[in-house]
Amino acid sequence: MKPHYPDGLSNPTRRTFFTCTAVTMGAAATGAFAATPVNAPPEGKRKFMEEATRLATESVEKGWGGPFGAVIVKDGEIIGRGQNRVLLTGCPVYHAEITAIMDASHRLNPKALLGSDYGAGTILDMIPREPNSPDPVPQRARMLKGCEIYINGAPCPMCMSAIYWSRIDHVYFGASLEDTSRIGFDDAFQYEDFAKPWEKRRIAVTPNFERDKGLEAYQAWDNKKDRHPY
């Protein structure tokens, strides 16, 4: 994916802020991070983690975002790249895994351009439910089935969920959630929060608000004869 560079990058205030952050992070990185290769990927796959880390480091050095990069691999070839660009875009969900998934999806489905008027319906092909799968439908869109993702750090819950939606087969990640917390990104608490009932969540949630209204769209999906499960 070719990066595009909104004007925000030239904002000196943001540059100063990020440089300070990067220095702090660099100091932490040289201090206490022990190299503890647990379940290290096979040698032939190391180059994918190297590319994910290269993307992550580039994002730090250019002030685009946090130190997170990801690549998606299909049949031994990188088909998607992503890096965190939250600072560059001001978009809180501009995470490496999300952008790698969008890049790979675009590569696999080049006619399905986001926002295009290519046509009605979908070009996603269907594949059968896997044996012993709890999947309630017999077929689903292929998405990124057959792909692997390599991430230099543990995925946050949003990105892990995106990986589920993508049907990616295997996740390789380097740094742990604890490592991520130590450089100031508190992804770990979200995993803990998701395990709690709605009323105990950190963010106020009102369930069952106008449920009947919401269900009207579900009914439309249910009534659609040619619906395409994904």
The residue ranges that bind Zn ion (CB under 5 A) are: 95, 156, 158-159
Q: How many CA atoms lie within 13 A of 215 on its CB side?
A: 5
Backbone angles phi, psi at 226, to 5 degrees: -105, 35
- CB nearer Zn ion, residue 63 or residue 153: 153
**What's the rounded Cα separation, in Å, for the pair 102 and 152?**
18
State the minimum distance, in angstroms, from the CB of residue 37 to Zn ion: 23
Q: Which residue has the tokens 């290519």?
A: 118
**Six token digits for residue 198:** 């709605």
Q: What pairing do the DSSP bridges indicate for beta strands 147-153 and 139-141?
A: unpaired
Q: How far is the CB of 48 from Zn ion (least distance, A)?
A: 18
Q: Are the CB atoms for 50 and 77 separated by under 8 Å? A: no
CA 135 to chain centre: 22
Residue nearer to Zn ion on the CB measure, 128 or 184: 184
Q: Which is nearer to Zn ion, 58 or 126 (CB)?
A: 58
Beta carbon nearer to Zn ion, 156 or 177: 156
Active-site amino acid positions: 97
Provide, rounded to whole angstroms, the least separation between the CB of residue 218 and Zn ion: 28
CB of 84 to Zn ion, least distance (A): 8
